[in-house]
Structure 1
Amino acid sequence: MRLTVQSDYALRLLMHVGAHAGRLCTIAEVAQAHGISAAHLMKVTHRLGQLGYLETVRGKGGGMRLARPPERIGLGDVLRDLEPDFHLVECHATGSTCALTGRCRLTGILDAALQRFLQHLDHYTLADLLPAGELPLLPSFPTKAVS
């Protein structure tokens, strides 16, 4: 199983913003800190705002902050909201042409594994990913050109 880049960036973005709860964070800041595309982050920020995870403030001095406390942002919920599908194999998708569809026990086993994966994530929130106490200094990442 592999998560989309959008989910990866969304989790990093939420962790960064959550670790800096006392102020607004900018897309450029997060892009530089994590060495990822500002254009991609803009799309992810927009989507997280639509879903109610982030609040965005436009204009000079604007940025983003969490729209709710980190202990109310479930990791399972974030991934369910962002992932377009969890088709682990072809037979999980609409229009499957697998000759074993309807007779294969693998489908049920993979479905159960996916449900356990998501249920495990349901035990954690964004707060579990943030350091306790004082705001941390984030590790320095090598900077690269942001497209």
Structure 2
Amino acid sequence: MRISGFSDVCLRSMMRLGLAGETGMTSRDLAQAIHVPYTHVTKAVVRLRELGLVNTSRGRGGGLRLTDAAAEVTVGWLMRRLEPRPDPIDCDNPAAPCPLRQACNLRTALRRAQEEFLRSLDGVRIADLFAPPTSGLLLEIDPGSPVG
């Protein structure tokens, strides 16, 4: 299965913010740290805040931080809320609708596979994503020049 670019940015943001801890980080610093354009990170942060996973604050000492509940959320739970298209195949394309769409074994099999994929992610907590050895690598990534 393939996840959207938006979900990828959200997951990478969560991973890096998990390591920032209480000190947090700014959206610009986060974008630079994960090598993603600032505008993409800001969209991801808005959605993660709506889901109650990221706290944002302005001004001196402000920034982005994971909420207390965020680390315990599973990747499967988060993916179900981030992925915009629940159907893995486009059988209802108005330009070329599939004649099998009412009773298609392929569509059923793909939906079942998609749910199994997400169910396998239900056993992975967000905190697991930034645990060692990943944590060390995340902190070593050279932010390089600003992106976006």
- TM beyond 0.5: yes
Q: After superposition, where does 1:1-147 map in structure 2 within 5 Å?
A: 1-91=1-91, 93=92, 97-132=97-132, 136=136, 138-141=139-142, 143-147=144-148
Deviations 1:41-80 (A, max 9, x none): 1111111101101011112321011112444211011111
Tell me the SS of whatever aligns to 1:11.
helix
The one-letter code matched in structure 2 to 1:139 is E
Identity across matched positions, percent: 34
Per the normalisation by structure 1, the TM-score is: 0.87
Number of residue equivalences: 145
Q: Flag structure 2 segments of 5+ consecutive residues without an equivalent.
A: none
Tell me the SS of whatever aligns to 1:22.
helix
CA RMSD of aligned residues (A): 2.2
More helix by share: 2
The one-letter code matched in structure 1 to 2:110 is L
Distance (whole Å) between structure 2 residues aligned to residue 86 and residue 120 of structure 1: 16
Per the normalisation by structure 2, the TM-score is: 0.86
Q: Flag structure 1 segments of 5+ consecutive residues without an equivalent.
A: none
Shift, 1:8, TM fit: 0.4
